[in-house]
Chains A and B, each alone.
Chain A
């Protein structure tokens, strides 16, 4: 075997590469979902996989999310490792019975006698003009469900490594992808590697304030940080990557260092994961070090609208992050 090479590939290709390499390694891994076979997935993530693995491992299905999710639960309890593609994260509403009542609870309800090792891959987020029912960010529902793990990688390398980890994890993992990240490129090793859950990544070190972000908001926060650097505001960007389990240590360390924190996510602010992050900080060791109130910047309190301008306005953009971070950096000084 030649040693691994790092190339520039897209986020979408990184997700596909993780699936392909895991399916080559482990016969028990299979992909199931609507149009994942011949069509290659609604976003093309599984393009070509049917040709390599055949219809018994890349399984095209009827439009029956509830049953498909339950079937993955059943197959997982038998020791298989299903990857279920939910075409749009929004459609996970149709899978909720199985995810909440079986995937998350079966191990516990059965006193530890079974496990449900499955991955639910779901493209989330707005920005494609798909309007209210094809643009949602619903990760907070699952973060509040013991028994599930929830990850939302922002980089191509993490998308691959965390999906490998997800497939090998003995629990159900909600793997949140982002439609706008699919075409972004970055360095990814062609070897097989795992990126552990519960470990945040400092995407950009800084000293003046911390931005906590995940998924699409990481590149936006980095862009904002680059702009703020010109104003002599030195922003630290922490990419949480894994929401449940959560790396509280890295959060506390960063906030203790910068003494200011802005939490950014695309989902609406009220009831969003940011509230939990704020509570973690407020009840943690870095609270005494805060020089300003914890700030949250989330999506607006509305469904995602269709009109381009309205759609942009509904979720944090780079300029919104710049504005919020600038205000926070100056507060109390």
Chain B
């Protein structure tokens, strides 16, 4: 059985006092940005679903609704010029890393002005300008690319670090293990972050992993491994921050496992045959966004009114981006072979 939100909080949560302390150490601007990013991710995906239903989105998509705590908590722990590489469920990472919403929606609806000029769609969204090396649709294949980027950073004594995100399913791929071994061996400046939503498509993590937790696998590669409450951005922040500092010191990678849960199916074809409605409902009651909003209020950073305003503005930003994106032209099918080769 996947862990319930209460179990995750009990076993892997942080103390309320510590959370409050961390929030109070942040600027109000940073807290606003984190909350806004979570709302934007939620509304972006709900909007994407809606566009899909209306036939505006051509292909499938993998929604991270319910998992908004991990990307923003991680992004709060890095500098703006640090790099990331993520996975097929990476809309939250892309928004948290500073993506332009119009360009993002434009890619979803296959427009030439989209991040991939209409050639990639949801599964290949990237934002090179903001240091986001994109999503890959091949499970675990992003890790070694991340390690290569980190190798380049190391060889150039660059100072930046990279966050490599992947799902729980990725940790059963051979390449995942090859990469963790090399990254640890060569002390590459990378932090490996597992967005463990407890299911690889229909397979509960416990049915496919010989270990109980992904983080346990870190010990095989001589790196720190920690499991945290992935629905709490502050818990994620603290763990990632430690990994980032270690990477920046030249001591090599860490493995952080953010335990969370996806409310929606794996993709649009999912009929939820492998889990109960009760289980999903329980997680919906533990929605990470209002939970974080309450934490911000408890810390005296934002009041209810300003939280409502953040929510409203986030929704409007997605609506506005969609309106603009829908007016943008589609790519010319005659240019279908453009961009295969670099000049």
Contacts and interface: CB of A to CB of B under 8 A. Distances in A.
B133 to A, nearest CB: 7
B118 A111 contact: yes
A64 B120 contact: no
A74 B117 CA distance: 21
A109 B137 CA distance: 11
Nearest to B338: A112
A108 interface: yes
Contacts of B305: none
B174 interface: yes
Contacts of A97: 138, 141, 175
A112 B128 CA distance: 11
Contacts of B116: 109-111, 113
Interface string B115-156: 111111000101010000110111001011111111111010
Interface in A151-185: 170-171
B329 to A, nearest CB: 14
A78 to B, nearest CB: 4
B339 interface: yes
B1 interface: no
A271 interface: no
Nearest to B339: A112
A74 B145 contact: yes
A62 B182 contact: yes
Interface in A56-77: 56, 61-62, 64, 66-77
Q: What size tier do the contact residues of chain B reach?
A: 35 or more
Contacts of A67: 143-144, 147, 175, 178-179, 181-182
A41 interface: no
A107 interface: yes
B338 A73 contact: no
Interface in B68-83: none
Given A64-B178, A66-B178, A71-B182, A113 B128 contact: yes
Given A74-B152, A97-B175, A107-B340, A66 B144 contact: yes
B277 interface: no
Contacts of A299: none
Interface string B79-102: 000000100000000000000000
Contact of A101 (B138, B174, B181): B138
Contact of A110 (B124, B143, B152, B343): B124
Nearest to A169: B342
Interface residues of A, number: 41
A154 B340 CA distance: 27
Nearest to A66: B175
B110 to A, nearest CB: 11
A83 to B, nearest CB: 13
A76 to B, nearest CB: 8
A108 B338 CA distance: 8
B117 A102 contact: no
Interface string B316-343: 0000000000000000000001111111
Contact of A62 (B114, B124, B148, B185): B185
Given A70-B145, A73-B145, A75-B148, A147 B340 contact: yes
A143 to B, nearest CB: 14
Interface string A66-98: 111111111111111010000000000000011
B150 A74 contact: yes
Contact of B126 (A56, A70, A113, A117): A113
B151 A71 contact: yes
A196 to B, nearest CB: 14
A109 B150 CA distance: 22
A41 to B, nearest CB: 19
Given A66-B174, A71-B182, A75-B152, A110 B340 contact: no
Contacts of B115: 110-111, 113
B144 A71 contact: yes
Contacts of B133: 74, 77, 114
A332 B11 CA distance: 84
Contacts of B175: 66-67, 70, 97
A60 B224 CA distance: 25
A126 interface: no
B259 to A, nearest CB: 26
B146 A107 contact: no
Given A66-B174, A67-B178, A74-B150, A109 B124 contact: yes
Given A67-B144, A72-B148, A111 B179 contact: no
Closest 7 CB pairs of A and B: A74-B148, A70-B144, A111-B117, A71-B148, A67-B178, A170-B342, A115-B342
Interface of B: 85, 114-120, 124, 126, 128, 133-134, 136-138, 141, 143-153, 155, 174-175, 178-179, 181-182, 185, 337-343
Given A112-B342, A117-B342, 17 more contacts: A62-B178, A67-B147, A68-B182, A70-B179, A71-B145, A73-B144, A74-B144, A74-B150, A75-B149, A79-B152, A108-B340, A109-B120, A109-B134, A112-B117, A112-B338, A113-B115, A171-B341
23 contacts: A61-B182, A64-B182, A70-B145, A70-B179, A71-B144, A71-B148, A72-B148, A73-B148, A74-B149, A75-B148, A79-B152, A101-B136, A101-B138, A107-B340, A108-B119, A109-B119, A109-B134, A110-B119, A110-B120, A111-B118, A111-B120, A149-B341, A171-B342
